[in-house]
Amino acid sequence: MKRLTENQNFTAFFYQKLMKDYDHRNDHSGVSGERLAKRLSQLSEIGLTTGGGSCRIGFSNEELQAKEMVKEWMEGAGLEVRMDGAGNLFGRIHGKYPDKAAVLSGSHLDSVPNGGHFDGPLGVLAALEVAEAWKATDYIPERPYEVVVFTDEEGSRFNNGLLGSSAVVGGNDKEILLQTVDMHGKAFQDVIEENGLTLEQFFQSEQKREDIAAFIEVHIEQGKRLEKENLPVGFVTGIAGPCWLELTFTGKAGHAGNTPMDDRYDALVAAGDFVRQVEALPSNISPSAVATVGQLNVFPNGVNVIPGKVTLTVDIRDIFLETRDRLVAEVLALAKAVTEPRNIQLQVEEKVRIEPVPIKADMQRKARAAIEKQGITPYALPSGAGHDAMILGRHLPVAMLFVRSKDGVSHHPAEWTDLNDCVIAVHTLKQLLEDL
């Protein structure tokens, strides 16, 4: 009972914070900022952490509860609701011409273990708010329209995300998933069966490409570009594909006092030189490329021992395949350049290599036009993070609208996006969908 009261108190606080500086002039054309604020607040109750964050891991009871809540809202908006074998939730408006390919919009409701309340839910609720606005104004779209909630985007359960959207395009590897276990050691098959799903149904969730005309995703930016430009929304030019490398520098451990400086094979000195120089590489190749050393482990890690081995990871991303792969080659060349003169052995293991997804020029143009119709200067920016749109974008036309993030914070309880910006994003999405 105490926990329930705490959740309700947080929900009230969250709603009041959203509404505090809301400009009700944004309420028009059937769009309601108050309804959006209430729904964001109600979802925040589910999986609320003691730190005020969100914990709705993929395939958890909390994710299911959130889907049930959204399902009720979909039905209340007059949508025809179904759930596929992967647990993806769809709410459909048949439109004037039901036989045409549908336009989809949505995102996900799962979170990282102590994340925020906008990453994913905003995209779902923005898509649903468009349906509510159409209902309020008796607007019927030409094509069928589906609001979609994808399962397990974040990947916190199996350390392998985007499973729901991958199921829709037949992109999951059955053999790999059958060998996958979650954070508690439960097999993938057991986990989905606990969710009322079956293995057979999961791998029968692929939809025909010709049934989907396009997918549009609204998402918080998770960065500072829009904030620096003082803009509420922007359109995405491409979704970066990561390449993760694990580099091992092997030298020779020795006594820190008795080994002279000219007779050392210090793995950390080589690794440190590499780390220092990596940050200069991306800007020489592409303005949207990035490279990050995220993990670094030193062995034997003693105060008075020369490091004999260092293992580190490099996360390399860009929205274009050619420049991403050029950067990978430059990173590897740098690693060789700092190890060979020092007689340090270098071992390279490629952990991940995913192709980037550039957004097609026509979809960018339409997104730009929708933003301009809101009286906002259109601003183009890349997505450094992966999204469900990345998975569908390999097979279908996609567009993404980013919404301003306060201080660029995401995957953290402090994640915040102003309600005015959220509602402007709904109007932009609505315009884009009507244009499509």
**Selection from 120, 114, 121 nearest residue 40 by Cα:** 121
Spatial contact of 107 and 219, defined as CB atoms under 8 Å apart = yes
User: Is 411 labelled as part of a ligand binding site?
Assistant: yes
Cα(131)–Cα(200) distance, integer angstroms: 32
Residue identified by tokens 């349906």 is 131
Spatial contact of 394 and 355, defined as CB atoms under 8 Å apart = yes
Cβ density class 386-396: b for 16+ within 10 Å, e for less = bbbbbbbbebb
User: Is 219 labelled as part of a ligand binding site?
Assistant: yes
Cα(144)–Cα(353) distance, integer angstroms: 35
DSSP codes joined into one string, 290-322: EEEEEEEEEES--TTEE--EEEEEEEEEESSHH
Cα(280)–Cα(274) distance, integer angstroms: 11
- Cβ-Cβ contacts under 8 Å for 164 (sequence gap 6 or more): 86, 87, 88, 108, 150, 151, 152, 153, 388
- Cβ-Cβ contacts under 8 Å for 207 (sequence gap 6 or more): 168, 169
311 CB neighbour count, 10 Å cutoff: 18
User: Is 154 labelled as part of a ligand binding site?
Assistant: yes
User: Is 108 labelled as part of a ligand binding site?
Assistant: yes
Residues of the binding site? 108, 119, 154, 219, 411
Please state the residue numbers annotated as binding site for Zn(2+). Answer: 108, 119, 154, 219, 411
